[in-house]
Amino acid sequence: MNDTVAKLKASAGAVFRRPWAIALLALLVILALMFTRPRLEPVELQERVWPVSVVEVRRGDVQPTMELFGEVVSGRRTELRALVPGRIVDAGPNFREGARVKAGELLVQIDPFDYRNDRAEQKALFAEARVRMQTVERDLKRIRELYDENNVSEQALDDALLAVEQQTATLEQRRISLARAERALQDTRLTAPYDGVVHGVSADLGKQLSVNDKVAEVIDTGRLEVRFTLSNAQFGRTLESGGPIEGRPVSVSWQVGNETLEFKATLERVGAEIDSTTGGVELYAVLDDAGTTPLRPGAFVWTKMEDKLYANVMQAPDSALYAQDTVYVVRDGRMEPRQIVVRGYDGDTLLFEPAPGVSIEDGDQVVTTQIREGGAGIRVEIRE
């Protein structure tokens, strides 16, 4: 038995020592692995479907509204300054911050004592000059008669004429001095130039005023204006819309706490200058019934004004715009590009029309979802 095993081992060793036998064994192993390996079945890849939102577009006329930030300003405000020096001896009952005053109402009375005396003195000097004028005129009349009768010389007539001319000049000087005294006495009373509100009070009883010292301001609350700025492009569109700018209606909103107050205004004028840094154009709108509103100068408000009228355009959210001039419509569940011409915006709404030669029909569904991998032909599913 042992001899038999030994012989088999010897024969096997002899076989494996041959190269062709080793190669045959390797080939058998490879074939066995190939036939016993697991087989991979091909998997069919499904096309990705993108969920999108769409909007149906239709042609129509659109007139957007421009929303602008503005500030309430006074159409008139007057600084009251002392026109004559003196001490304040009286003040009106409404001479206080925020009080309403009527036109002509007394605000401040400067001590009139010296000014009354000066007026009285100038009156007396004027009366004296007038009497003197009557005297020299009578003298001239008498001398002229005597001259006609050859009873006085020509020199006497010339002297009489000169006296009348000198007294005429003196009388005119006295008249001017009296008028100045009258004016100075009137200027001791500072009154409201119009109905309004007192602001910036800087004087009180007993204060000694010099000429041009500021006393207060009067703001005309019956004529309040809203000042707001249009950009260069907005102003250009306003001009394109045709018709005069003046007279257009403006809506004004004032946020007071949790309440929003609405006012109506009328565009009155364009500012005198254009801002060189921003290119903006200032506009002024006058508030209707300003005298009955709680608005005051300095309030910040929102204004709304009609923009240019866009005729025969389509609308879509601005998210529908790809590459500045392309939108996608859905056809048979796939995105198809359409080139467009952007006409303008209404807030976040895009106003456009198809480019020449491009067809976008009323009722077409325009994709409003931005897809990074989006492009022509991708499959989409419209979501509600």
| Domain parsing of the chain, residue ranges | 2-28, 54-58+312-382, 66-75+220-306, 78-217
d(CA 238, CA 235): 5
The one-letter amino acid code at 207 reads K
What is the pLDDT at residue 266?
92
**Whole-number Cα distances in Å, 142 to 133, 139, 151, 154, 245:** 14, 5, 11, 13, 73
* Percentage of the chain modeled with pLDDT above 70: 87
Residue 265's pLDDT band (cuts 50, 70, 90): very high
Topology of domain 66-75+220-306, per CATH? Elongation Factor Tu (Ef-tu); domain 3 (2.40.30)
How is residue 168 annotated by DSSP?
H
Topology of domain 78-217, per CATH? OB fold (Dihydrolipoamide Acetyltransferase, E2P) (2.40.50)
> Mean pLDDT throughout 297-313?
90
Mean pLDDT is lowest, of 115-124, 178-187, 195-204, for 195-204
Say which residue, 375 or 210, is predicted with more confidence. Answer: 210
Count the neighbouring beta carbons within 10 Å of the beta carbon of residue 199: 17
What is the pLDDT at residue 233?
83
d(CA 165, CA 146): 20
φ, ψ at 242 (rounded to 5°):
85, 160
Q: Is the pLDDT of residue 221 over 90?
A: no
β-partners of residue 316 are 350
Q: Is the pLDDT of residue 295 over 90?
A: no
What is the pLDDT at residue 187?
95
3-state SS assignment for residue 121:
helix
Residue 121's pLDDT band (cuts 50, 70, 90): very high
Residue 5's pLDDT band (cuts 50, 70, 90): very low
Residue 240's pLDDT band (cuts 50, 70, 90): confident
β-partners of residue 35 are none
What is the pLDDT at residue 247?
87
pLDDT digits (tens, 9 = 90+) for 335-378: 999 999 999 888 889 999 999 999 999 999 999 998 887 678 88
pLDDT digits (tens, 9 = 90+) for 126-144: 999 999 999 999 988 998 8
Mean pLDDT is lowest, of 6-10, 200-204, 342-346, for 6-10
Residue 168's pLDDT band (cuts 50, 70, 90): very high
d(CA 362, CA 59): 7
> What's the N-to-C CA distance of the chain in angstroms?
89
CATH code of 54-58+312-382, in short, is 2.40.420.20
Judge whether 336 and 376 are in contact, CB under 8 Å: yes
What is the pLDDT at residue 292?
67
What is the pLDDT at residue 4?
54
Judge whether 381 and 51 are in contact, CB under 8 Å: yes
Residue 46's pLDDT band (cuts 50, 70, 90): confident
β-partners of residue 255 are 260
> Mean pLDDT throughout 222-240?
86
d(CA 145, CA 148): 5
pTM: 0.64
Residue 92's pLDDT band (cuts 50, 70, 90): very high
Count the neighbouring beta carbons within 10 Å of the beta carbon of residue 373: 7
Say which residue, 38 or 320, is predicted with more confidence. Answer: 320
> Mean pLDDT throughout 294-306?
88
Torsion of CA 37, 41, 47, 49, to 10 degrees: -80
Query: ∠ CA(225), CA(227), CA(230), 5° rounding?
Result: 145
Count the neighbouring beta carbons within 10 Å of the beta carbon of residue 13: 9
d(CA 155, CA 117): 42
Judge whether 308 and 233 are in contact, CB under 8 Å: no
